[in-house]
Amino acid sequence: MGGLILGIEHLLISLSIVLIFIRSVDASDLVKDVINLSNLFDEIVNWVGPANIVHLVTNNAANYVAARRILCGKYRNISWSPCVAHCLNLIFKEIGKMDHVDKFAKRASKITVFINNYVALQAWLRTKKNWTEIVRLGPTRFATIFIALGSLKEHKHDLQALVTSKFYVESRYAKDKKVKTVVKIILDNQFWNDCHVIVHIMPPLIHLLRIVDSDEKPAMGYVYDAMYRTIDGIKKKKFKDKKRLWERYVNIIKDHWDTQFYRDIHATAYWLNPAFQYNSSTLNKRLKTQSAVTDVIE
């Protein structure tokens, strides 16, 4: 259901917010339609006190979005934003459903299944220096699939060394027709080039997911900056401004940012964050957020 960020003592100038976790609600037997959700949120708002609530966070499902419209229409002082982790997972899901990524992931999955099916092959690989286990690709289309592809890429040379080794060539596995198909994938340079491109896109997004999903520090003041760093990093650092390589991925990210992520409260938290407020390199971005700051204060 998300959570409520409550400001018991909040100064308008410093936007100092006290975070309090009040209670959990067992809504497992509740039909989560718009009316029930808005009534549930309204009950909590009245229990806490509307004047004490600064910010409401929910996932981005249509029923939650509609419920927040009702609630925020009734209590104009409450700001709302979708769960950033949920929005990021939707980005991972959409990229994972792209035809070329989906086909690539299925080929990569054959490699992990091949390795995990044979104990002898695993034992041979574990003798390699600094070997770590390959992360399995699951059926999910969220972040884990890209983490698994990154793990596979790190083991490229060890896998190629395995299937060209005397140990493997003379083994019974080398005669299996299904295994020969997997070996072709492992020795296919184009496969690894595709892996390199896909894996290059994901680290900035995964890093952002770790920021917003961490309990170690408040993420609110970093979301705005982190998203722009993510897009800029993919364009310039990862693909050296080669538009044909990054365009379709960045379009997905920007579409979700523009329609779901971006909220004035994120821009305001960025503007008020001392890490950016006193950094001359962020001046242009701060100027773009001033209207959002005014709107939040009003």
Handedness of CA 217, 220, 224, 227 (dihedral sign): positive
For the segment 136-154, what is each residue's pLDDT rounded down to a tens digit? 765 545 677 888 888 889 9
CA 190 to CA 103: how far, in whole Å?
A: 13
For the segment 6-51, what is each residue's pLDDT rounded down to a tens digit? 333 333 333 344 455 555 666 777 778 888 888 888 888 888 888 8
The domain limits of the chain are 1-82, 84-262
- Judged against a pLDDT cut of 90, whether residue 291 lies above it is answered with no
CA 53 to CA 45: how far, in whole Å?
A: 7
Token code pair at residue 13: 């100038």
| Phi, psi (rounded to 5 degrees) for 58 | -135, 175
At 231 the pLDDT is 85
- Judged against a pLDDT cut of 90, whether residue 53 lies above it is answered with no
- Angle of helix 189-212 versus helix 143-154 axis, rounded to 10: 130
Percent of the chain whose pLDDT exceeds 90: 12
What is the secondary structure of 198-232 as a DSSP string? HHHHHHHHHHHHHHHT-SSS--HHHHHHHHHHHHH
Distances (CA, A) of 16 to 105, 173, 259, 271: 45, 64, 28, 13
CA 225 to CA 234: how far, in whole Å?
A: 14
b/e code 32-60 from CB counts within 10 Å (16+ = b) = eebeebbebbbebbeebeeebbbbbbbbb
- Angle of helix 99-117 versus helix 84-96 axis, rounded to 10: 90
Mean pLDDT of 209-238: 76
- Judged against a pLDDT cut of 70, whether residue 218 lies above it is answered with no
Q: Give the position of tokens 């020969």.
A: 180
* pLDDT, greater one: 107 or 6: 107
At 164 the pLDDT is 93
Contacts of 30 (CB under 8 A, 6+ apart): 36, 40
Q: Which of 186-190, 235-239, 260-264, 268-272 is least confident?
A: 235-239
